[in-house]
A and B are shown apart, each in its own frame.
Chain A
Amino acid sequence: MNDKSSDVARRITDELASCGVKLVASLPDNWLMNVIATVDRDPRFVHVPVNREESAIGLCSGAYMGAMGSAALMGASGFMTVIYAITKINYSYEIPLFLMVTLRGALGDHHKHHVSNGLYLRPVMEAIDLPYQVIDDARDIGLISRAYRHSRTFCRPFAVLFTRDLLRGHGGNGGHG
């Protein structure tokens, strides 16, 4: 990882902490490894690596009912497995949920096997009326806390989608804006 990528990871975690996130439940994605490592060594967070993405949905939803801020961090493929959990738990009971997901299959992804995510990730989110915000530029990292607060205000899930350029430190001004 380059210095810019590490700086982006630090700024993402600072943004999470600023809006009161304590619990971070994660499953890995190569693009997220720097963010996950930064969360893991940051004492402001309780980092819980989970066995599958649905478990992150359960954990974060329960934490909300105990007044603990939380975020679920996962790859696009993992998100595609949690549609039922989100619609059942977060829609039925109107429990807010904050998701941070990689925008796999988009411009800049070198991996052919993410073609399905490129084709369907955003259409699936739109099909279940799950609002999202793409973050491609380090100057937009502040949108994380706005999105988090939006999920709390409207008692619904909200996702931020991180691009490869952002997480690799290539987006915008490289994380120093």
Chain B
Amino acid sequence: MKYLDAFKVLAKHRRDEIVVTSAGNSGQAWWAATRDSEATFYLDASMSLSTMWASGLALARPELKIWAFMGDGAFCMNPGMLMVERAMNLPNLTHILVSNRVYGATSNAALPRNDNDYAAIARAMGLERVFAFGALDALERDFPGVIGGNVRGHTFVVLEVEPFSDAEQKLEQPPFDGPELKYRFGREIERRTDCNIFGYRV
């Protein structure tokens, strides 16, 4: 399925989830699909840390539901993160692995291998709520069931998508400077949860 089409489906089914993106393409695609400037943290090029970052947030704010995107290039850099995610087993965290089989943010450079079975890797790590989608109609039909209701533990979703086309690679990057993004996002978290992140409220 097309990367952008998949993200439009996710955006359509999003209710009040907080979103954390990974490097490059997922930030571009989510920005194109939502133009969300408050409830999404566009974590740029962390080289595999988006779901750890999101896990810290999900631990701190159990009343929020968090989606964290990660490209398969980032995943391959740090698959051991799943051991930590399994141990934490946060029911409010959904790890969405966007598998385009390339380093999308680096001109679609090839991964060391392009036949990894990410769902099998996750199950082998001991994760139980593992889902994979390779077709848009299945994503449209079944994704609401994956994210709906109360779940007992961490959720891992694989999206098999096509790499960005040359034209899609030119999609706008989320335009925020780091500190602006921190405060926009943080104030939204404060507003939703009545917490105090920065030591003062406005």
Bound Cα distance A46, B59 (Å): 9
Measured between beta carbons, the chain A residues less than 8 angstroms from B47 are: 54, 84-85, 88
A52 in contact with B55 (CB, 8 Å): no
**Contact stretch, chosen from A11-19, A35-43, A66-74:** A66-74
**Contact stretch, chosen from A91-99, A104-112, A123-131:** A91-99
What secondary structure prevails in chain B residues at the interface with A?
helix
A54 in contact with B59 (CB, 8 Å): no
Nearest CB of A to B63, in Å? 10
Partner of B59 from the list A57, A68, A84, A95 (CB cut-off 8 Å) is A68
Measured between beta carbons, the chain A residues less than 8 angstroms from B81 are: 51, 55
Q: Does B110 contact A (CB under 8 A)?
A: no
B57 in contact with A66 (CB, 8 Å): yes
Q: Does A143 contact B (CB under 8 A)?
A: no
How many residues of A are in contact with the other chain, CB < 8 A?
32
Measured between beta carbons, the chain B residues less than 8 angstroms from A68 are: 56, 59-61
Q: Does A64 contact B (CB under 8 A)?
A: yes
Nearest CB of B to A28, in Å? 14
Interface residues on B, range: 35 or more
**Contact stretch, chosen from B141-149, B164-172, B179-187:** B179-187
Nearest CB of B to A134, in Å? 27
A57: nearest residue on chain B (CB-CB)? B49
Once A58-B53, A93-B179 are accepted as A-B contacts, the answer to whether A88 and B45 lie under 8 Å apart by CB is yes
B190: nearest residue on chain A (CB-CB)? A67
A63 in contact with B43 (CB, 8 Å): no
A95: nearest residue on chain B (CB-CB)? B182
A55 in contact with B78 (CB, 8 Å): yes
| 6 sampled A-B residue pairs with Cβ under 8 A | A51-B78, A58-B52, A59-B56, A65-B186, A68-B59, A85-B49
